[in-house]
Structure 1
Amino acid sequence: MSSKALTFAIFGNLYQQEKSAAIKQVLTCLKNHGARIMVDEEYYHFLVGIPGVQEIFGIAETPSNPQSPEIPERSRFYTFSGDNFEADFVISMGGDGTLLKTASRVRDKQIPIIGVNMGRLGFLADVSAKTFDETVDALHRGEYSVEDRALINVETDGEPIDGCSCALNDVAILKRDSASMISIRTCINGEYLTTYQADGLIVSTPTGSTAYSLSNGGPIIVPGTGVVLMTAVAPHSLNVRPIVLPDTSKIELTVTSRSHTFLVAIDGRSGKLPEGTTLRLSRAPYNAKVVKRSTTRYFSTLREKMMWGADLREVK
């Protein structure tokens, strides 16, 4: 095992206190490995409310400020806010949704992300707390790989999009109310494709093909495939079908709406934009990096999540 102490930056789901045993197992494992541990400040305040976690952090049972107990100076635990962190690895503790939020904080730092799933196996968060100790051992031995996952970059004319402008899963352009559909004029590399009359349009990466796009009839695309997928949401015409494009494509979308506004959701983080705004989508200049153990297999996860081959007939 390498003698180098690794640095981990930890982000997590703030609503999984019932998973406290798994959380403590991960923190204890990192501490036992002599890791330098940086915890997102918001997540830290959540963690210290879990019985037993303050002891792991080395905090006295009765801290001077119970609402915000401070980590001792000599501890290997640290807190940070925003994107003010550097690490060898980032740990996302939650599910696939938590990992998407984590990727938006990592941005272009190019730090590999380990998805520790607090519930069922995910496509992205596929390390369980029970096997986390084995995973850390594998990191020290170099027995892991890092997958590059493409991101979609979003630029707009008019109002800027708040927060991170890159999507690991998808960018969805959606109507704001239930009264009427929206019109989305679509050009690819400067050439007019069509004007979608629909409730919305999803532009997804291969990673996101098993998310919102799949529920709207889009195909499953294996990560690493150099394509981007466009899937309409409840299109007015039955002739409209999903389309797969090279991920070198420049996609330009101009939206009109009776409500004069529409929503753009980047990995679920939505904001309102005025009609007439033009969105320009292209592959981001950097990738998200996701750590995979040598024992992890995409098609095994796909088969389990999709229940392919399972006999769902009721046994009488």
Structure 2
Amino acid sequence: MNRPRSIILVGDTRKERSAAAIAAHEKWLQKRFKVVLRDLDGSADLSRAEADLIVLFGGDGSILSVARRLAGNAIPVLGVNTGRLGFLAEVPLDSVRSSIERLTKNPIRTSDRMMFEVEIAGNAGKRTLLALNDAVIARGSVSRMVHLRLVVGEEPFTLVSGDGLIVATPSGSTAHSMAAGGPIVDPELEAMIITPICPHSLSMRPIVLPARRAIRIELARRNGDVVLTVDGQEVVPVADGDAVTVRRTRKPFRLVHPGPGAWFAALRDKMGFAGALTPKLK
């Protein structure tokens, strides 16, 4: 992509670290770019916004939220990490200016990330949400087993009994799915990862499917409250007769990479993948 000229500044100024980072860098950014929008409270309609780049001060949760709010808008997002892990918000605070300076001198390097459209439909109507990481159907506050019927395309596949089920994107493969024993998948692949949560079966394992499939989850038998959680941020109760359908969106989320090999470096250094590289590879 071409070098950016206009930017949208995004951050939650109610959070101390984000507010301090924006205050420290906003004037510097204004000297280098035309700031066409300041979204510091999450109220802007990013799906209709126009700019060359979004500079986001926040953590991985902020990236997830902005990805859903963009709703297919192709503006690339550069995440400056003011949170904890910084797996999606990859730019550390101490290298904000050097990373952004590189963007003014070189074409933007982006990574297109597949997203999900998550539809829950039943007697109460239909609601559609977007997900960058995952959709989780799981038990509520009471520790009782849930029973979910899984349909792939139009083909009944299996019954999952346990704490629930995760349907993850490749970007979400390093989040809840990984913690539940799912595989790590390169985020630029297009795939759907189905990971059971504490299945009451010795043979139930995670499975990876092509992204062209649609996955439908139905409540086979109620045994307490069941909830749908999208990206760990949006929660919808699942009622009797509801069906949750997960499919790929037409347009991806576009994330700016600060440099080549950034995902592998983050996997190694931030997630501790396979320990340190010692001795160093030649």
Deviation (angstroms), 1:35: 2.4
The yes-or-no answer on 1:203 pairing with 2:167 is yes
Aligned counterpart for 1:82 among listed residues 35, 40, 45: 45
Residue type of the partner of 1:309? G
- Alpha-carbon distance in 2 for matches of 1:232, 1:97: 23
Secondary structure in structure 1 of the residue aligned to 2:71: helix
Deviation (angstroms), 1:32: 2.2
Quick check: 1:9–1:40 contact (8 Å CA) kept in 2?
A: yes
Matches within 5 A, 1:138-287: 138-158=102-122, 159=124, 165-258=129-222, 261-268=225-232, 269-287=234-252
**Structure possessing the higher radius of gyration over alpha carbons:** 1
- Alpha-carbon distance in 2 for matches of 1:93, 1:196: 39
Quick check: 1:262–1:275 contact (8 Å CA) kept in 2?
A: no
> What TM-score, normalized by structure 1, do the two folds share?
0.78
The yes-or-no answer on 1:8 pairing with 2:16 is no
Quick check: 1:10–1:91 contact (8 Å CA) kept in 2?
A: yes
Deviation (angstroms), 1:125: 0.5
Quick check: 1:173–1:202 contact (8 Å CA) kept in 2?
A: yes
Matched with 2:24 is 25
- Alpha-carbon distance in 1 for matches of 2:213, 2:264: 27
Matched with 1:55 is none
Residue type of the partner of 2:243? T
Quick check: 2:12–2:18 contact (8 Å CA) kept in 1?
A: no
Q: Give CA-to-partner distance per residue, 1:96-120, whole Å, 9 cap, x none.
A: 1110011111111111111110145
Unmatched runs of 5 consecutive residues or more in structure 1: 44-79, 312-316
Residue type of the partner of 2:32? H
The yes-or-no answer on 1:102 pairing with 2:101 is no
Matched with 1:131 is 95
Deviation (angstroms), 1:157: 2.2
- Alpha-carbon distance in 2 for matches of 1:154, 1:34: 36
| Aligned Cα root-mean-square deviation (Å) | 2.4
Quick check: 2:182–2:195 contact (8 Å CA) kept in 1?
A: yes
Residue type of the partner of 1:146? T
Matched with 1:289 is 254
Deviation (angstroms), 1:244: 0.7
- Alpha-carbon distance in 2 for matches of 1:161, 1:106: 21
Secondary structure in structure 2 of the residue aligned to 1:109: coil
Deviation (angstroms), 1:179: 4.0
Residues 161 and 13 from structure 1, CA distance in 2 versus in 1: closer, same or farther, beyond 3 angstroms? farther
Secondary structure in structure 2 of the residue aligned to 1:214: helix
- Alpha-carbon distance in 2 for matches of 1:112, 1:34: 15
Quick check: 2:4–2:103 contact (8 Å CA) kept in 1?
A: no
Matched with 2:275 is 309
Moved more, 14-23 or 232-241: 14-23
- Alpha-carbon distance in 2 for matches of 1:34, 1:243: 45
Residues 300 and 5 from structure 1, CA distance in 2 versus in 1: closer, same or farther, beyond 3 angstroms? closer
Quick check: 1:22–1:130 contact (8 Å CA) kept in 2?
A: no
Unmatched runs of 5 consecutive residues or more in structure 2: 278-282
Secondary structure in structure 1 of the residue aligned to 2:41: helix
Residue type of the partner of 1:288? F
> What TM-score, normalized by structure 2, do the two folds share?
0.87
- Alpha-carbon distance in 2 for matches of 1:179, 1:89: 44
Secondary structure in structure 2 of the residue aligned to 1:282: strand
**% identical equivalent positions:** 32
Residue type of the partner of 1:130? D
Residues 295 and 21 from structure 1, CA distance in 2 versus in 1: closer, same or farther, beyond 3 angstroms? farther
- Alpha-carbon distance in 1 for matches of 2:199, 2:12: 34
- Alpha-carbon distance in 2 for matches of 1:294, 1:193: 41
Moved more, 292-301 or 265-274: 292-301
Residue type of the partner of 2:44? S
